Amino acid sequence: MADYFLFLLRTMEVIALLYALLIFLYSVGWYLQKTNLSKNNEHSTFVSVLIAARNEELHIESLLNDLLHQDYPRDKFEIIIADDHSNDATAKIISTIIQENDLVNIRLLSVNGSGKKAALSEAILAAKGQFILVTDADCRLHPDWISTMTEIYNQQELKILLGPVMIEPGTGIFGKLQSLEFMSLMGSTAGSCRIGLPSMANGANLGFDREIALSLGKEAFKHRYASGDDIFLLHAMLKSYGTDAVGFALHENAIVKTAALPTLKSFMQQRMRWVSKSRGYTRAAIIVPAVVVFFFNLALLLLLGMSFLFPFLFPVYMLLTLFKFMIDYPLLSGVSSFTKNRQLLIWALPLEVIYPFYVVIVAVAGNFSGINWKGRKIT
């Protein structure tokens, strides 16, 4: 029995060290990340902003209002909303806004296919701009979003630009925990990009070259998976153009904001949908980190469970949880400063206790169970 526990603890030590190395590298990458804008106000690039929308009657007007108040010449960008078979008032609201304001740079596209990937694919084909910006219908944008993302993209001569996304914490504890957890994802996205191992992307804030995306064909989105329009496009770009083609827009004006999900059920459904695309991953740069994070959190969960039978393991669990907190904190601190949400750091330690349950449940359920999303069954 003693040998069994010794082997278990040694295994956990190895996993913990691998996790520490991973987050340390991401943290270094985050703090090395810099964006210096040249203050170039020529605005010569024609931009197509694409939004795939399904049943977004509560949000679409706010998003369009943000887009119509962008500090970018109205004749230098277009907005294409690809309506993914909405059965609410989404399309009606968009049409009304276009008619009432006599807008010529907004187009409502009725999608023939089904799902976000089909909507975006059809919108890309219809787009006129060489530079494509993608966001989600439930997001809010800074007035300089288009100009900031476009300038960074041109300045760094990129093929794909990853943008920062922030969850508004709101007033409740659940929203604050969501916001803090999402900061770790943003920090990992930027950090991994800076060290030359980009592994994540977010379709709520993404920019890329239209012709290149079209040339990648089916590899760009992998339509057989319901989710992953962002990550599969990133991987296809990396495969064809390497890591120098990818950049991260670390600038406060590039931040896209979205609201926290209202219920635990909606939150879990969203994260399970995100995880479901992992079956399509082929790059070691994303598979290895995902495996390390999963097994470290699984180890913590198993250690906690075994502590009920073997109480002497509970101090080990507490030490490893504290160790994880100390490893995660520098990255969370950097991202919270960037988003001006440092007050959320008081929830960092409670999140460390909850996080292993969330990671393990979502990872297993997302890969082995069906998911309902906006009235559709996703398998």
How many other β-carbons are positioned within 10 Å of the β-carbon of residue 239?
12
Same domain, residue pair 189 and 312: no
pLDDT in tens, 338-348: 999 999 999 99
Same domain, residue pair 77 and 7: no
Q: Which domain holds residue 341?
A: 2-29+284-366
Distance between CA atoms of residues 355 and 271, nearest Å: 13
User: How many domains does the chain fold into?
Assistant: 2
Distance between CA atoms of residues 332 and 181, nearest Å: 9
Question: Residue 378: its pLDDT value, please?
Answer: 59
Q: For residue 242, which amino acid is it?
A: G
Same domain, residue pair 19 and 44: no
Q: Is residue 109 part of a domain?
A: yes
pLDDT in tens, 81-115: 999 888 889 999 999 988 887 677 899 998 888 78
pLDDT in tens, the chain (379 residues): 667 778 878 888 999 999 999 999 999 999 998 877 766 666 789 999 999 999 999 999 999 999 999 999 988 999 999 998 888 899 999 999 888 876 778 999 988 887 888 899 899 999 999 999 999 999 999 999 999 999 999 998 899 999 999 999 988 999 999 999 999 999 999 999 999 999 899 999 999 999 999 998 766 665 556 566 788 899 889 989 999 999 999 999 999 999 999 999 999 988 888 887 777 777 788 889 999 999 999 999 999 999 999 898 899 999 999 999 999 999 999 999 999 999 999 999 999 999 999 999 998 887 777 666 666 665 5
Same domain, residue pair 48 and 20: no
For the chain, the residue count is: 379
Same domain, residue pair 25 and 41: no
Same domain, residue pair 257 and 288: no
Distance between CA atoms of residues 370 and 346, nearest Å: 35
Question: For the domain that residue 108 is a member of, what is the CATH number?
Answer: 3.90.550.10
Q: Which residues contact 282 (CB under 8 A, 6 or more apart)?
A: 235
Same domain, residue pair 75 and 200: yes
